Amino acid sequence: MLHVYTMPPFIQLFYISANGKTFTKCSLAQELVRDGVSRGEVHHWVCMAQAESGMSTTASNVNTDGSADHGIFQINDYWNCKPSNGRASKNGCGHPCSDFENSNLRDDVACIKQNLIWHHHDFSGFSYGYRARCKGTTASYLSGCSY
């Protein structure tokens, strides 16, 4: 016989808030500025997060090549983080992928900044979602937000 245990709602809420979060545009902009993203660039970051993950820190996606993308910015586990399944990885950011699936965005920001500087030079090279949905359209993306 199968037994299913369901957590009480108040514990579920604690578990979700302790491990992951879905941001609004304005709350993500505020968090990113606190974590070192310049006010002049934050609209690019927020649009990328919306395009890649719907602004959810727990998002993950398996790609056709077998690699997976993790977290709010969909950081790839072949190039940028160490997957938990032990598969070979370049691990360019020096973190386990689980570090990018929580509500602490500092390591995500550092990883992306490192990739932009060393490899891609702009968001279009790092993020397929940014290239498809954000490039050239982000100037007014955060209108009405204080950050």
d(CA 49, CA 51): 5
Q: What is the pLDDT of residue 78?
A: 95
Q: Which domains does the chain have, with CATH numbers?
A: 24-133 (1.10.530.10)
Burial class (CB in 10 A: 0-12, 13-18, 19+), 38: exposed
Neighbour tally for 59: CB within 10 Å: 20
Which tens digits make up the pLDDT trace of 89-134?
Answer: 999 999 999 999 999 999 999 999 998 766 766 777 778 888 899 9
State pTM to two decimals. Answer: 0.82
Confidence of residue 36 (pLDDT cuts 50, 70, 90): very high
Spacing of C-alpha 139 from chain mean position: 20
The residues pairing with 56 across neighbouring beta strands, listed in sequence order, are 22
d(CA 94, CA 111): 9
Q: Which residues are catalytic?
A: 52, 69
Q: Return the residue matching tokens 């604690």.
A: 14
Mean pLDDT: which of 16-25, 51-60, 120-129 is highest? Answer: 51-60
